[in-house]
Amino acid sequence: MAMLEVKNLSISFGGLRAVDGFNLKIEKGMLYGLIGPNGAGKTTVFNLLTGVYKPNEGKVVLDGKDITGKSIIDINKAGIARTFQNIRLFKELSVLDNVKAGLHNHNPYSTLTGILRLPKYYQVEKSMNEKAIEILKVFDLDGEANILASNLPYGKQRKLEIARAIATEPKLLLLDEPAAGMNPNETIELMDTIRFVREKFDTTILLIEHDMKLVGGICEELTVLNFGQVLTQGKTDKVLNDPAVITAYLGE
């Protein structure tokens, strides 16, 4: 059974068909890339997969469960987490508390318990603190656990956003242009981080990326979008050497 299966996914905005008949199948454990020129519909696909937008047509199945049209919260609880092209951290919170925000999905306590500071509150908070530190160690961020997220260097903010997403225990992690704004050395480190995350957390990964060196270096298969439609799909080497793909990028 595929980890993610998308069938004929479509959405229109004011008569414009932003995504048109999108199909995708990703097996468990894969590192898959979604590429295409600017405005091709890549982030719109991510927004459809995560519940930001409701599709006009089509179906999204995650690990055998139909999640089409579900809310953002329900889709996250079902097992999809994401990062964003423009980093979205809780910058007024500490590095530790950013990761704990992700952990709250699986470590709930009632509002009353939190207000009254009942014993369960302290038990859950202690457990979350320990788990958050474990996750931060994986990303080599435990030394900065108590500083504000806004004070991290750019590359580490990217890593923190991935760490927070991992804290929700996703089956599928969506990375929206994770190398955006990074220098070559940071990009190489990011590639290692993405590979490690897949192995360490047994996570299937789908990423949008414009850095073809990164895509070619870590993705096993690719889908190319152009004008909201699938241009081609397949093994990475084959796709990147497809004349239609080269033309699409040259025409960007």
Q: For the residues of 111-131, what is the DSSP string, one character each? A: HHHHHHT-HHHHHHHHHHHHH
Report the pLDDT value the prediction gives residue 233, as an integer from 0 to 100.
95
**pLDDT tens, 151-185?**
999 989 999 999 999 999 999 999 999 998 888 88
Which residues partner with 22 through β-bridges?
Answer: 9
Question: d(Cα 169, Cα 134) in Å, to the nearest integer?
Answer: 13
**pLDDT tens, 176-217?**
999 988 888 888 888 999 999 999 999 999 999 988 888 999
Question: d(Cα 50, Cα 174) in Å, to the nearest integer?
Answer: 9
DSSP E strands in the chain: the ranges are: 4-13, 16-26, 31-35, 57-62, 65-66, 80-82, 172-176, 204-208, 221-226, 229-235
Report the pLDDT value the prediction gives residue 252, as an integer from 0 to 100.
46
**Structural domains in the chain, sorted by start:** 1-79+169-252 (3.40.50.300), 92-167 (no CATH)
Question: d(Cα 129, Cα 140) in Å, to the nearest integer?
Answer: 16
Residues of the chain with pLDDT under 50: 252
